[in-house]
Amino acid sequence: MEQKLPNTGAIIGLSIASILLCWCYGVLGLILSVVALILASKATKVYNAEPESYSDFGSVKTGKILAIIGIILNLLFLFFIIWLIVSVIGMDALEDEELMRERVEEFFQ
């Protein structure tokens, strides 16, 4: 009798959430992506041990692909935020709130 792989729903849910939350400075979504990828890796090991016993390996592969996409999107957004702080706003503006406000307004005009 075939059974479902463990954490399949969690893998898909975390992967989708990581993509949706990539706009949260790239950190929250990155954590969710990594957790989903770890769970997918464990589910893959379980499946490879007894492939005839499990029926939903396709869902795990889908979740793994979504987790990888989530990692890429979150890293891109995280690098964008770092670039924005370092090159556009400037490190000196991080200490002066008024200077930071001026540079951010300049950037978005």
Q: Per the domain annotation, does 31 fall within a domain?
A: yes
pTM: 0.84
Q: What is the pLDDT of residue 32?
A: 96
* 75 in any annotated domain: yes
User: Is residue 54 included in any domain, yes or no?
Assistant: yes
Q: Consecutive 10-residue runs of the chain (109 residues): their mean pLDDT?
A: 90 96 87 97 95 92 97 94 84 84 85
**Domains in the chain, number:** 1
2 Rama class: left (phi>0) / alpha (psi -120 to 50) / beta = beta
CA 87 to chain CA centroid, Å, is 24
Please indicate, yes or no, if residue 78 is contained in any of the structural domains: yes
- Predicted local distance difference test score (pLDDT) of residue 88: 79
CA angle 43/49/52 to nearest 5° reads: 95
- Distances in Å between the Cα of 73 and the Cα atoms of 9, 44, 107, 108 are 21, 23, 23, 22
Assigned domain for 55 exists: yes
Domain that holds residue 58: 8-83
